[in-house]
Amino acid sequence: MSIRENIEKTINNAEKLNGELNSFLSIEREYALNRASEVENLSDDASLKGFAIAIKDNICTKDMQTTCGSHILHNYKAHYDATAVRRLKDAGAIIVGKANMDEFAMGSSNESSAFGNVKNPWDLERVPGGSSGGSAVAVASGVVRASLGSETGGSVRQPASLCGITGLKPTYGRISRFGLVAFASSLDNIGIFGQTSEDVAKVLGVIAGRDRNDSTSADVAVPDYLATISDDIKGKRIGVPRALFGEGLETDVREAVENSIENYRKLGAEIVDVELPHAKYGIAVYYIIATAEASSNLARFDGVRYGFRAEGSHELREMYRKTREEGFGAEVKRRIMLGTYVLSSGYYDAYYSKAQKVRALVKRDYQTAFEQCDAILTPTSPSVAFKIGEKSDDPLAMYLSDIYTVSANLVGVPGISVPCGLSGEGLPIGLQLVGNFWSEATLLNLGNVYEKEFPLGAKPKVFAD
């Protein structure tokens, strides 16, 4: 198949499945087909020549809509490409569409999108996870091999787990955030979904690395992730924090993850016990820091320069108030209020400042643990995909979906979710491996070997031809 035929097939699949899954907010048929013809002329050295990819709708794509799943950016088109997008384009990848997401990446179920839920292809009554649910489903439903998502607290790993695919959150600073619409700047990362760890590695190798437009991107050499991805994992030490396998963990998930630990042992890995005594504060710390930064990052959506502006205001403050009241959804407003509160004069020390101190303790836990192991294994999510509406009225229950994932964001270390089994109802379960700073190669190696040796052996109900 030529690149153009392949892209056409991808677009057809995306359009066909989108009615059921709602994973795309926009599908770029014309752009992608034109681009396919252009890419044919690229040198074969272009590592992603003709590679179809979906991009989460909070990552800027020049002249394409970038809505962040929010009414306030309805029809907003980005003026420039995010660095990651530019690197993908330069390597020959073709953007086929923008993926649905929780509004401003705030959510764990995709129910907060202003443009409708994304459905889990394994069970259309269930959520795909969030906030990068659209990106996860675009891959899980077989439309694309890989997609970009974003993570602030598990937003790639959790939907990867719930959709039965591989999802990587790299080290903070590994991929430039330039062009990723900020939610919580000190926690945000661009992450990658793939049908396999190999797909993820391929994309990571292209988009990782220092970017002068992002002061927090690191000047650390990018290794050849594919070169080591099939290495023997014999002797690799996998740490298991048993204390975290308690309350709130579904039985099926626990059993699948316990089983995966045994599988790793069979593959030659050494299993060691580790302790992460401050991990239990992760969610609390996360929701203080993330909301504080969000309250500031989302201030620019004020109706003055771009995006939605409410009609019928007669003075400035009224315009601000109405625009933000009508433009933002409930979850976003809840977090802006929380964040505004924790930064307020008189509360800063008790909340934001203390949260930063606890964050430092969590980081120390991980540093200590990595003296004993190469990666820490836990479930990615305490549960399989839950039903749409099941937790949407209970924000706290929803926040706990991220209990295993947020620590990696707080610390800045990389984490990967790899499918490791199915529940009794036939829903996918993911294992999470969190590694030390810049250890993406190790995580991809551990993920790839597992996928090859213990494939899931099942496909979602809704899957592209």
Partner 1 sequence: MKEGWEAIIGMEIHAQLATETKIFCGCATSFGDEPNANTCPVCLGLPGALPVLNEKVVEYGAKAALALGLNINEQSIFSRKNYFYPDLPKGYQISQYDKPFSSDGELVIMTAERDEHGRAKDFKPMTIRIERMHLEEDAGKNVHEGLPETDKYSYVDLNRAGTPLGEIVTKADFRSSWQAYDYVNHVRRALQWVGASDADMEKGNLRCEANVSVRKVGEEKFRNKVELKNLNSVRFMQKAIEYEIERQIAAHEAGEGVSQETRLWDEKNNKTRVMRSKEDAHDYRYFPEPDLQPLVVSKEFIETMKAQMPELPDAMRDRFMAEYNLSFDDASQIIGDKDIAAFYETAAQASGNPRTSANLMLSEFVRELNNSGKRANESLLTAESFAEIVKTLDEGKINNNQAKEIIVESFNTGKSPADVIREKGFEQVSDAGAIEKIVDEIIKNNENQVNAYRGGNEKLFGFFVGQVMKASQGKANPKVVNEILKSKL
Catalytic site includes residue 155: yes
**The two structure tokens encoding residue 156:** 């790639």
Which three-class secondary structure state does DSSP give residue 151? strand
Does 181 bind partner 1 (CB under 8 A)? Our answer is yes
Here the tokens at position 391 are: 């937790």
- For residue 83, give Cα distances in angstroms to 86, 170, 210: 5, 16, 10
DSSP H or E run through 166:
strand 166-169
Among 37, 213, 367, 372, binds partner 1 (CB under 8 A): 213
- Minimum CB distance to partner 1 smaller for 7 or for 338: 338
Selected from 253, 343, 400, 449, the binder of partner 1 by CB under 8 A is 343
Residue 345 CB, nearest distance to partner 1 (Å)?
5
Give residues with Cβ within 8 angstroms of 95, minimum separation 6.
28, 31, 32, 35, 53, 54, 55, 61, 64, 85, 88, 89
**Shortest distance in whole angstroms from residue 220 CB to partner 1:** 14
Report the nearest approach of partner 1 to the CB of residue 412 (Å): 12
Residue closer to partner 1 by CB (options 87, 145) is 87
Which residues, other chains included, contact 131 with Cβ-Cβ below 8 Å and sequence gap of 6+? 69, 101, 102, 105, 106, 107, 108, 110, 112, 149, 150, 152, 155, 159
**In degrees, to the nearest 5, what angle opens at C-alpha 137 toward C-alphas 200 and 439?**
25
Closer of 245 and 341 to partner 1 (Cβ): 341
Q: Kindly tell me which residue out of 216, 228, 230, 259 binds partner 1, with binding defined by CB under 8 A.
A: 216
> How far apart are the C-alpha atoms of 211 and 374, rounded to whole Å?
28
Q: Give the residue, chosen from 243, 304, 337, 350, that forms a contact with partner 1 under the rule CB under 8 A.
A: 304
Task: Please list every residue from 17 through 36 that binds partner 1, using CB under 8 A.
Answer: none
Tell whether residue 177 is a contact of partner 1 (CB under 8 A). Answer: yes
Yes or no: say if 302 and 269 are a contact pair by the CB < 8 Å rule. no
Tell me the sheet residues that pair with 167: 193, 417
Q: Is 413 in the site for partner 1 (CB under 8 A)?
A: no
**Residue 311 burial by CB count (10 A; 0-12/13-18/19+): exposed, middle or buried?**
exposed
C-beta of residue 111 within 8 angstroms of C-beta of residue 117: yes
Indicate which residue of 56, 89, 98, 169 is catalytic.
Answer: 56
Q: Report in angstroms how near the CB of residue 181 gets to partner 1 at its nearest.
A: 4
Q: How far apart are CA 181 and CA 104, in angstroms?
A: 8
* Interface with partner 1, residue 171, by CB under 8 A: no
Q: By CB under 8 A, tell whether 180 contacts partner 1.
A: yes
Q: Which stretch binds partner 1 (CB under 8 A): 21-29, 73-81, 112-120, 445-453?
A: 73-81
Residue 65 binds to partner 1 (criterion: CB under 8 A): no
Choice from 33, 195, 230, 320 touching partner 1 (CB under 8 A) = 320
Q: Which of 26, 70, 109, 131 is catalytic?
A: 131
What's the closest the beta carbon of residue 34 comes to partner 1, in angstroms? 24
Binding mask 78-117 for partner 1 (x = CB under 8 A): xxx-x-----------------------------------
Local structure of 198: helix, strand or coil: helix
Rounded CA gap, 337 and 292, in Å? Answer: 9
Q: How far apart are CA 414 and CA 422, in angstroms?
A: 25
Q: Give the shortest CB-179-to-partner 1 separation in angstroms.
A: 4
Q: Minimal distance in Å, beta carbon 358 to partner 1?
A: 16
Helices (H) and strands (E) in the chain, counts: 14, 11
Answer for which of 19, 345, 349, 357 binds partner 1 (CB under 8 A) is 345
For the segment 261-290, give every residue that binds partner 1 (CB under 8 A): none
Q: Is 179 in the site for partner 1 (CB under 8 A)?
A: yes
| Catalytic residue selected from 155, 161, 260, 401 | 155
Query: Which position has the token pair 């002797």?
Result: 235
What does the binding site for partner 1 look like in residue numbers (CB under 8 A)?
58-60, 66, 68, 73, 76, 78-80, 82, 177-182, 184-186, 212-216, 292-293, 295-296, 298-302, 304-306, 316, 320, 340, 343-345, 348, 352
Give me the active site residues, please. 56, 131, 155
